Amino acid sequence: MKDRIGETAGQIWKIMRKNEEVNIAQLPKLLEEKSAIVYQALGWLARENKIAYRMEGTKTFASLTDVERNK
């Protein structure tokens, strides 16, 4: 399970590298992965300070931090 979460975190990172910002509700469908795995992967990335969150109404968006984007 931990490997799957880590792999999903890598996929999310790559998506965010291509896109400035992603609506996190769309990630499970985009990745064809269970929501629980995707949200754990987001938590993994957040814990490592690789992503930042932004709220707009009821939607939550995530993007790479400036440090990650400049790597």
Domain spans, the chain: 2-69
Q: Residues in the chain with pLDDT < 70?
A: none
| Token pair of 15 as six digits | 């998506």
Q: Which of 4, 1, 69 is nearest to 31 (CA)?
A: 4
CATH 1.10.10.10 fits 2-69, yes or no: yes
Stated as kind and residue range, the H or E segment containing 7 is helix 2-18
Would you say 25 and 31 are in contact if contact means Cβ atoms under 8 Å apart?
no
pLDDT of residue 63: 97
| Token pair of 11 as six digits | 């996929």
| pTM greater than 0.75 | yes
pLDDT of residue 34: 97
